[in-house]
Amino acid sequence: MNRRNIIHILLCLLLAGFTATAQKPFTEGVIVYNVELVSPDNVSVKGIYTFSIKDALIKKELVLENGYVDITLLDSDEQTIYSLQNRGGKKYAIQLNMEETIKKQQHYKGFRIVDEVNSGKKLSGLDVFNARIVYPDGVRSDVSYTKEWRPAYAVTFNRFPEAQFFPLNFYYNEAAGTMNFVATKMEACPVASSIFRIPAGYKIITYDVYLQLIKE
């Protein structure tokens, strides 16, 4: 799977409700997923996806075994999203559109949980439930989650706006491929504010400018 296909999958996922009793919002801590990206021609790339959360600040860091790294910084209060990319030795903070991200989530609102069962398993001491979700358009998807926590902000997960649970195992399907997530750790713990800042040396550019760069 080449770099352009990986970027396309990730941007589709970034720019793309279960009904349950409200749970505690997960306002600070870390969630780690094993991930696998599979292209339509069945080429697989594995990696680690780490979500760090501190109130309205969310950092998503994807590190793949082929050396590809993608870091996304979200601020739900300031309504900003930046994707940190390193291309040809140059560092870019790509400014994405939060309004467009929220708009694309509308398609996934109003989903239902069916066939929920307690798996009997635990992750970091949390009970894990298996279920199937049904979206308003009839699309179904299997998912595992904990009911002890929920995302504090709807933009945390693209396909689960306003979820009253925290997803642990799930997958996203796109024309450019499939991305599978399997949680290995979920910990409520202090997180330093500094990790949510754009690091020194990164040039802030728009998404349109970045598209021109990757065509070169």
- The model's pLDDT over 41-70, given as tens digits with 9 standing for 90+, comes to 999 999 999 999 999 999 999 999 999 899
For residues 209 and 60, give the distance between their C-alpha atoms in angstroms, rounded to a whole number. Answer: 22
Mean pLDDT on 109-131: 95
pLDDT band at 11 (very low <50, low <70, confident <90, very high): low
Q: What is the dihedral of CA 88, 198, 14, 68, to 10 degrees?
A: 30
E-state strands within 23-175: 24-26, 28-38, 44-54, 57-64, 69-75, 80-87, 90-96, 112-123, 126-134, 140-146, 149-151, 166-174
pLDDT band at 1 (very low <50, low <70, confident <90, very high): low
Closest CA to 126 of 118, 116, 114, 117: 118
Mean pLDDT of the chain: 89
- pLDDT of 56 reads 96
pLDDT digits (tens, 9 = 90+) for 124-165: 999 999 999 999 999 999 999 999 999 999 899 989 988 999
CATH no. of 3-109+170-215: 2.50.20
% pLDDT > 90, the chain: 70
Domains of the chain, by residue range, sit at: 3-109+170-215
